[in-house]
Amino acid sequence: MTSRRGRTAWLKDIFRKRVRPAEADPLLLTDAVDTRYFYNAISRHEARFQIGQVVRHKLFPFRGVIFDVDPQFANTDEWYDSIPEEVRPRKDQPFYHLFAENDRTHYIAYVSEQNLIPDDSDVPLSHPDISDWFTMNGSGTYELKKEATN
């Protein structure tokens, strides 16, 4: 029968550092960066719109205030596939969370940047959740409350 030392010695060999970090070769980038690939899922896109900005949808009759931004699509595939192909947006762009409203109702919308335009009307929004997140400043824009930030 092998000794206890003999039974665990192979484990120590496996987990023992064979090369000290100072002796290791530096990591060099030898291939060109593929600009079509999002390394670590970080988007290189800059958002055109900002939190608190009032926007309107290009195709559908609703408007709202932005309360969050995803640098690229971050919803479910089921949600994405439910959009008709002829109007389905690209995933590689910012997507905005809106407190949205139309003539009939209030709701939360998730909209791609390509489908939004700034809303320059002076008509105030009436979504009931806006007052929990924003204060209206003197210039008629929405400012995020400090307690609403994460």
The CATH number, out of the four listed (3.30.67.10, 1.10.3470.10, 2.60.40.420, 2.30.30.390), of the domain defined by the range 45-148: 2.30.30.390
Q: What's the rounded mean pLDDT across residues 27-43?
A: 55
pTM above 0.75, yes or no: no
Q: 70 pLDDT band (50/70/90 cuts)?
A: very high
Q: How many residues are recorded in the chain?
A: 150
- State whether residue 88 is helix, strand or coil: coil
Please, what sign has the CA dihedral across residues 64, 70, 71, 73? negative
Pull the structure tokens for residue 66: 């932005």
Rounded CA separation 57/42 (Å): 26
Is 65 a residue whose pLDDT tops 70? Answer: yes
Rounded CA separation 23/107 (Å): 58
Q: Where are the beta strands (DSSP E) in 38-94?
A: 54-57, 63-70
> Where are the domains positioned within the chain?
45-148
Determine the residue type at 1: M
Distance of CA 31 to the CA centre of its chain: 28
